[in-house]
């Protein structure tokens, strides 16, 4: 009889953002905070997806979600930006390119 797989085994690891990915996301986040648009964030590491959620106020639902889904890497891209209404605003395999959809919103809010 085989022993059950321990919970901490690699088959049960959650998806996480790497340091380089967080650096890119937090750089953008800092610019939005400086512009007064964003005030809080949350990070979730789940089995199939890592999520960086952006909030205008802490008690609200997220304005945007930046998701990393490794299972989608070969199909539609590893990263996506999802709006408050659940629409996918941008999807792709390069994080900086995907985040450009949010940078355009920053430029419009500053001008």
Q: What are the tens digits of pLDDT across the range 25-54?
A: 999 999 999 998 899 999 999 999 999 999
User: Residue 84 is inside which H or E element, if any?
Assistant: none
Measure CA 111 to chain center.
26
| Average pLDDT over every residue of 53-58 | 85
- pLDDT for 92: 94
Report phi then psi at 50, rounded to 5.
-105, 135
Is the pLDDT assigned to residue 63 strictly greater than 60? Answer: yes
pLDDT band at 9 (very low <50, low <70, confident <90, very high): very low
Of residues 64 and 59, more confidence is placed in 64
Residue 90 CA from chain centroid, whole number: 12
**The pLDDT value given to residue 7:** 47
Residues 1-29 have a mean pLDDT of 76
- Residue ranges per structural domain of the chain: 12-110
Residues 19 and 53 sit within 8 Å (Cβ to Cβ): no
**Mean pLDDT taken over the chain:** 85
Distance CA 50, CA 73 (A): 13
Rounded to an integer, what distance in angstroms lies between the CA atom of residue 4 and that of residue 107? 53
Please answer whether residues 68 and 15 qualify as being in contact, where contact means their C-beta atoms are separated by less than 8 angstroms: yes
């Amino acid at each position: 009889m085989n022993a059950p797989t321990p919970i901490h085994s690699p088959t049960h690891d959650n998806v996480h953002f790497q340091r380089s990915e967080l650096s890119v996301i937090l750089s953008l986040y800092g610019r939005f905070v400086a512009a007064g648009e964003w005030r809080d964030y949350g990070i979730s590491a789940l089995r199939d997806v890592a999520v960086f959620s952006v909030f205008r106020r802490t008690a609200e639902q997220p304005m945007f979600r930046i998701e990393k889904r490794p299972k989608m890497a070969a199909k539609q891209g590893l990263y996506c930006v999802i709006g408050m209404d659940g629409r996918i605003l941008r999807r792709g395999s390069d994080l900086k390119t995907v985040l450009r959809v949010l940078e355009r919103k920053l430029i419009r809010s500053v001008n």
